[in-house]
Structures are given as C-alpha cells and as structure tokens.
Structure 1
C-alpha cells in the first residue's frame, strides 16, 4: 500500500498533465477546424461563421479519427471507460504507449471538429494509460498495475472537472472492482495530487457554479424522486437506442473505418439545426444551470443532442459519454423544473445527478458529482434521492449499464455488484468433516497400497500417530508410486512421509485460505488440526468448499417467516 501510494504521487501528476494537454489539444483542434487559426485559446463553436461548412467539418474530423483507429490502434474507438474496464479485468491492466498518445489526439480531433462528446472518457483512458505505463516500468502484479491505472484515470477526471470526491467514488463504483486499502489509498493520493495541480494548470473552483436556493421539506424530496425516475427512464432509453444504432452500423457493407464519417453526416445536419449540439457542450451545461435557455431551446437541445450523440457514438468514433449525459439529464430536469419549486436550473442539476447514476450505474458518484460540479453541497439529500431512484429504474429495466453493455457484446460479462466472498466469511471448523477416517503411522506401504487398490473411499487420508497427531497425508498417487519405487514393502508410513506432506489448516482458518492451499498444492483434502498438539479434528475437501457457496446462495434466495402476523401478543394485566 505504501509503495503504491508513493508511486501514485507520480501518476497523479501525470494524470493532471494529461488533462491539461487534452484540453489544449481540443482548443487547438477547435480553432483549426472552425476558425482557421493556430491557437490554444478556448473558444465556442457557436461563434463560428462557416455557413454550410458546418456539415462538412465533422465529416472531415471523423475521417481523420477513422484513419487513426485503423492504422494506429483500434483501442482509441469508443467511450474510453469501457475500454479501461476491459483492460483492468482482462488485459492485466497493461495499456500501450500508442494508446496513451493516440487517445487524446483522436479525441481532440473528434471533439474539436464538432463531435458531441465530453473530455472525461478520453482523459480517463489517457490517465489510465499513464498510470499503466508507469507501473509497467517496475516489477508489479496485475492487481498493483490496476491500482496505478485507476489512480491515473481518477487523477485525470479530477483535473478536468475539479471533483476529487466523485473521482474517488467513480474509481470504487466503476473501475476498481474491489474495496481494499491497497487500492483505495493510492487512488486517493493520485486524486489529491491532481487536485493540487489543478489551480496551476486548469483553474480552481466549481466548474459550473450557479445561483439557486435549495428548497427544503418533504415536497422537494418527492420531486427529486420523480425527477430521478424520469431521467432513469431516459437513461434506459438512451442506452437501448445507442446499441441499436451500433447494430445498424455493424450491418453496413463498408469497413468500420468509414463509420465515424457516416455518422458525422448526422452530426453536421444537427449542427445546422442548432450549433449548441456540437462539441463538448460545456456552455450548454452552464446555460441549463443558469436557467437562461427558453423552453423551445431546451427541447431542441434535448432532442437534437440525443440524436447526434447516439449516432456519433454508435459509429465508433472517439469520445466520452459523461458531458452529453449531463446535458440530456439536465435538459430533462430543466423542463420538469418549470413545474417545481426552486427554478429550472436547480432541477437541471438534479437531473444531471440522476442520469449519471442511471446510465453508468454509479449512484454515489452521480449524487456527489453534481454537487461538486456546482458547489451546491446543500443539495446532496436531493441529488442522492434522484440518483437512487434513477439507479433503481435502470437496474429494473436494463441488464447492464451503458458502459458494461459494450463489453458484454464482446462476450465478457461484467457484474457491477460488490459482495463479500463467502469463502472469507466461514472458518474451517464450520464446514469440515469431523473425526475423519485416518491411517495409522505404523501401517506399511504394502498394506497402504493394498488398501487403495481395494477401493478406498477417498483419494487421500491423514496419517496419524498413537495420539491422533498428524504425521502427514498419503494419497492414491503415493501408493502407486511406492509400488514401483525403492522403498521396502515393510517400511511404515511414518518412516516414508516427509515434512513436505504436512499440509494443514486450523479450525479458525478462513476457508478461503484453505482453498488457496488446495490450489497451490494440488491436494484436494486438507487436514484440520488443533494448534500445538496437531491432533486431527477434521478434514476439508473441495466438496466442502462448495457448501459455503451454497449457504451464501441460500441466504440470498431462501425466504422464511419467523413471526406470524396472526399471532397475538401476550396479554398483560392492568
């Protein structure tokens, strides 16, 4: 833990620098594509005056991304977060230098040319690649590389949005697939380092501050639940639509390199309708929170942004999902906010919290992310309410999140539910077979060979002395080896067995430790002995280990009533 935390100091710095570079690359690409100048100054696409070129520019940018994906690395395609998850779970957390370079470049071209994406997915992939590459310079395990990969990803997200708490929670809910000090502490270190660098590289303060009073009482909580349900339905609809669009692209009789350019045609026409749907759309998020958009503009933003984003992302180009989701959830919340106390901007924030939770299956992250983005921590009870309701709707309607569905389509199932391993909850004494059959140490190897040849009930047996203390373990394989070995037939088992056969566990040993012992040794039955005396009190087999799984499953699915509602409470004297 301490070693990884020290290494996370470097990774956190790398993630922050990666975020700064990505923002500058997006600004350079935006200036080149829309204003014909070389500048790293932040600009808005809505200020452009290119006329009908607004249709062609996204197509040109998407052609460049398609070429980079085909002749560079196809890992730059897609959201960024699913690719990071897949690398963690199936790629030993090893990302290449090529991905670390091409992902931010392709994302900058895609977003800068009008792609309706945010920078969070690309920076998570880029920061993760920085952490992975740094980890690969040292002799580390896959689990340790994963920790540094996630630390880099969370650091990049923190540097972009200034949301350290939400970045840590995103790491826990979406990327780490565990809750251990070994991973948690280094991720926190990486995030805090990136947060410390942020004022120098990007800026300080909330990214989307706005003025609003948080309503209090029962009705706002009920309203937040209602908004959460609505945006949860929206998240399910968007996820389903995205993968249907992706299926349509897979049916096209052209190479996937051309798909982003085909999708960009829709993006271009969407920009012709309303230029606000192009690019990351951070100005649109701020406008929704400020409540400065008319209802007609909000409806147009909701519909057109959804269409161009779904088509562009379904085409396989490079871009993120978080910023578009914030716009779409915020637009839905803003429309509902015209009917609720507190103002449209406040409910736009609630909608953002809900849709992030529903789409990404990260309810705690979604609730806190909205509060950190805006600085409205007093709204946390309402963002939590909306996030929980959207999460519940999403779980009921969708088998997987918008992130894990992409991985599942590659034949890999991801379960985003944390539970304690049942093997770590049970001790050997609770599952072992007590007073097992044993063989005396005085038995000769000839007698033992005959015993196994005559059909012994088990493949192996503990060998004990006169006090039932363990001498070793003898198996059918040992008996067969002795028949062709150099040991005299009258040699006793006590004389034959060596200390190498003394594989033991104790009654208080967690059966997870026993399972590891079986895997490492290849022995299917482990004697359980008393500490000190080494007297055999039981034995654990592979079949016994399955009992823990069965008991855990029964606790999840078995239902029973212990108090009957028809029973009467005992009467008491007055």
Structure 2
C-alpha cells in the first residue's frame, strides 16, 4: 500500500498538469474556431453573435476530425471516458495504451472547442487514468495495484478540473474502484490531495461556481419540496439516459461506417445551436448564471430543451466528450425552472437541488452528486436539501431503469457490472461453523489441503481455488496437526443460503396483540 501511495503522489501531480493543459487546449480550439484569435482562455461559443454557417458546420467539421482520429488512431477515444475507464479496469487488467493519453484529450478539445455540448471531466478521467496506468505498466505491479494507480490518476484529474477533492474521491469509490479497501483508497486520496494543491497553483482555489448563501434557511416545507424536485430530476435523468441509447441504437442501424457518425452528431449540435447558441460548448458561464439565479426565463427553457436534446443525441453518435458538465447545466436549468414556481429560498437554491438530482439520477452516484454540488458552489448549508433531492432521483432511476448511462454502455459490450456493494457472506462465517466432523475411520483419500477452524469461509474458498481442490482437512485453531473436521466445496453454500434467507425470508417476530373482549358478550374484536 505504501509503495503504491508513493507512486500515486506522482500521478496526482501529473493529473493536475493534464487537467490544466486540457482546459487550455479547449480554450485554444474554441477561440480559433469561433473568434479567429490565438488565446487559451475559456470562452463560450454562443456568448457573441456568430454567423449561422459557422454555428451549423463547425460541429460537423469537429465530428469529421474525431471520426478520423478514432478510426486511424484509437477507437478508445469514442464516448465520454468513464465507461472506457471502467472497461479497462474490469477486463483489461487496468492497462491503457499510451496513445489514448494523447488522443483522448486532443479529440475532446476538438469536440468541445467546435461547439460540442460536452464537458472536460470524462476526457480528463480517461487521460488521468491513462497516466496512472502507463506509470504502473512501467513498474512491476499487480493488476490491483495498476487499478489503484489508474483510478488515482482519474480522480486526480477530476479534482484538478473542478477543485472538488471530496467529490473526486467519492466518484472513485462509487464508480471506479469496485471495492473499499485501504490498499486502493489511500493511494486515491493521496493523488487527489496532490492534484488539488497543484490546481491551486495552476488555476486557483476559488469555487468554480460560487453561490452566495447569506441568510440561507430551508423551511420544513421547502425540505419536503426537495422530494418533488428530486423526483422531477429523476424523471429527466431517465429520459436523457433513454435518449442517449435510443440515439446509439439509431446510429448503429446506419448503412455506413461509424467513422462518419460523429459528423452527423455534429449536425444535430449545429441545428440546436441555431435555436439556442448558449447550449454550445462546455457552458461554464451558463452554469454559473443558473446557480446564482441570474439566468433569464428564455435561457432556462432554451438550455433545458436544446441542451438535453443535442447532448443526448450527439453523445449516441460516439463522439468524444464528458457527461458531467452537460448534466450540471441540464440539472441546473431544470432546478431554475422549478424555482420559478416554488417558494423562494436563496437565489440558485432550486438550481442546486436540480443539479444534484440529475447527477444522482444519470450517474447513479447520489453522494457524488451532493458533494460535487457543494464543492462547486461552496454552499455547504444546502447539504441536507441536496441529499434529499439527489437520493430521490437516484431511487427513481434505479426503480425505472435497469442500468445507468454508464453501465448500459458496458452491458452492451457483453460485460456484467454491479453497482451494489455488500459484505461478502463468506466473510461472516468460520470454517468450524459449517464443517463436517472428521470421520472416525478417516476418508478414503485424505485431502491434500488443510485449513484451520478459525479461518473464514472466504479464506478457505481462496485456498480451495488456489490449489484447485474441492475439499480440505480442518485443523484445530491451537496449531495441532490432528484433523478435527472436513470442509467440502458444498459447505461454502451455507453462507450464500444464509444471505439469501436474510434477504427474502419474511417473518413476524413479535406476536399480535391479544383479542379485546367486546362489550355485551359480542364476539371479540382482533386489533
């Protein structure tokens, strides 16, 4: 753990530099395409009047370039980055090709810089993950250690992009690590800490979208309405997720190579930009207006409709770009629209609840949605309200959709992914609780393997798997060599059966109250 943590410190520093360079590259492409000037400052394509032909065809040109890069460079640059990182962890031994570390940020900068309605976080997750993976591949490390460094790089890039260290760690736990162990958690935190410090030097330490919260007091009625806001956000998350994959299905039916699909997605973006130019690009300025209560009604409605449509439909084309920033904008617009009719709390309060709700529903990561919103705005007092809305949206999304926008894509590639963590039932039973007594005459063929009575079933299962046997002699825990029991493979099912019974077997544990005698000799009434 300590060795990997030391390497993670290096990864964290590199992740912050990668995030800085990616943001500058996005700014450079945006300025060149829409303002014909050499500058790396972040600009909004729709902040100034642009010729209609530029708005319409710039995303198409960007899509053509991305299609060529994906076909002749690496197909791994397609998509929004998180499913690709998850797939590398699940099936690729946490190995990422070095060229992905270069092609992914460049393709994302082209996509966003030419008007794509995406965010920088997905590409930086893949880029930071690639940095961690490449370093791990240069060293003599196990697959689990490579995973720790890959996720450390991904989380470091996220923390440096949004100045959100807590949310980056939660994102790693909820979406990428698939475990909660010191061996992976400690390196991730170390990398995120270094990346956050590095971000302070490179991009500053202020909140990305500061929201004034003076006088914030959420009444009981407003807290209850957060459930409504969460439910509406969950419905929007379900609709957006459904649109992404219906679009992907539609593109898959086209009779020509997928290399051309991002250009068609770019045409969708361009048409949407003609109706609402502010929906183009990463949109940090629009998110800021929504969260601070300065957005006009026309902007709120335009973003809510146009951004949702062009993001969902173009993402299905396989172009390159992240999902978080668009989800921030869509959720913020939804909450701002709700704020037009809900009781006033503070400017931007309902936009924050909408943002947390849509993140919780789309990403299926409710805690990340809450903490992300608080770190982006520094509105710490809104935490309980955000938790209500995010969890409500998460619950609704889990009830309606089988998989999230991340896991559906992975499932379509033939992989199974669970997002539910629980204690391994094999870890809760000892060998002595399930073993058979040692036969008086001994077995016909004594087992080659032995375990101890105080070993957990999980330890025993690992030993059986390692030695490729189906039974083991059980020795006393005091260190004696005389067998006291026999453990067979079928005994391991005892823990699984116990877990299954606890989940599905329902029973009444307290007796019903005794019947109360009815007055006048009538039949007793059972309560």
TM-score under structure 1 length normalisation: 0.87
Structure (1 or 2) with the larger CA radius of gyration: 1
For residue 245 of structure 2, the aligned residue among 219, 224, 243 is: 243
Counterparts of 1:349-364 in structure 2, within 5 Å, are 349-364=352-367
Cα contact 2:233–2:361 (8 A) shared by 1 = yes
Displacement, 1:515? 1.2
Report the secondary structure of 1:539's partner residue: strand
Look up the SS of the partner of 1:34 in the other structure.
Answer: helix
1:266 aligns with 2:268: yes
User: Would you say the 8 A contact 2:243–2:313 is kept in 1?
Assistant: no
Say which is worse superposed, 365-374 or 334-343, in terms of deviation.
334-343
Q: How does 1:126-205 map to 2 (within 5 A)?
A: 126-205=127-206
Structure 1 residue 49: deviation in Å? 4.1
1:215 to 214, 217, 222: 217
Deviations 1:261-300 (A, max 9, x none): 0111111111111110100011110010121122222111
Which of 427, 430, 435 lines up with 2:433 in the alignment?
A: 430
SS in 1 for 2:399: helix
Tell me by how many angstroms 1:344 deviates. Answer: 5.3
Give yes or no for the alignment of 1:115 onto 2:123: no
Q: Does 1:562 align with 2:509?
A: yes
Aligned counterparts of 1:421 and 1:196: Cα–Cα separation in 2: 37
Flag structure 2 segments of 5+ consecutive residues without an equivalent.
517-527
Partner of 1:519: 465
Deviation of 1:550 (Å): 1.7
Work out the number of aligned pairs and report it: 512
Residue 548 of structure 1: how far off its partner (Å): 1.5
Aligned with 2:116: secondary structure?
coil
1:108-147 CA distances to partner (integer Å, 9 max, x unpaired)?
0000000000101110110000010011111111110000
Question: Could you tell me how far apart the structure 2 residues matched to 1:293 and 1:525 are?
Answer: 68
Post-superposition offset of 1:358: 1.0
1:170-569 matches, within 5 Å, as 170-212=171-213, 213-338=215-340, 339-343=342-346, 345-436=348-439, 438-439=441-442, 461-462=445-446, 473=447, 501=448, 503-530=449-476, 531-567=478-514
Q: Name the stretch that deviates more: 514-523 or 129-138.
A: 514-523
Q: Distance between the aligned counterparts of 1:28 and 1:397, measured in 2? A: 41
Distance 1:77 1:437, change over 3 A: farther
Q: CA deviation at 1:4?
A: 1.0
Q: For the Cα contact (< 8 Å) 1:223–1:340, is it kept in 2?
A: no
What secondary structure is seen at the aligned counterpart in 2 of 1:505? Answer: strand
* Structure 1: gaps (5+ residues): 440-457, 463-472, 474-500, 570-574
Cα displacement (A) at 1:343 = 4.4
Aligned-pair CA distance for 1:408: 0.5
Give the SS at the match of 2:70. Answer: helix
SS in 1 for 2:179: coil
Question: Quick check: 1:4 aligned with 2:32?
Answer: no
2:117–2:280 contact (8 Å) kept in structure 1: yes
In 2: Cα distance, 1:343 partner to 1:529 partner: 67
- Structure number with the bigger relative contact order (C-alpha 8 A, sep ≥ 6) is 2
**Distance of 1:438 and 1:505 partners within structure 2:** 20
TM-superposition CA deviations, 1:282-323 (whole Å, max 9, x none)? 111001012112222211110011111111101100001111
Q: Distance in 2 between matches of 1:344 and 1:249?
A: 41
Where does structure 1 differ by over 4 angstroms across 4 or more consecutive aligned residues?
none
- How far apart are the structure 1 equivalents of 2:60 and 2:480? 78
Return the offset for 1:47.
3.6
TM-aligned CA deviation for residue 44 of structure 1: 2.1
Flag the 1:218–1:565 CA change in 2: closer, same or farther, 3 A: farther
Q: Distance in 2 between matches of 1:91 and 1:7?
A: 21
In structure 2, how many angstroms separate the alpha carbons of the residues matched to 1:516 and 1:438? 28
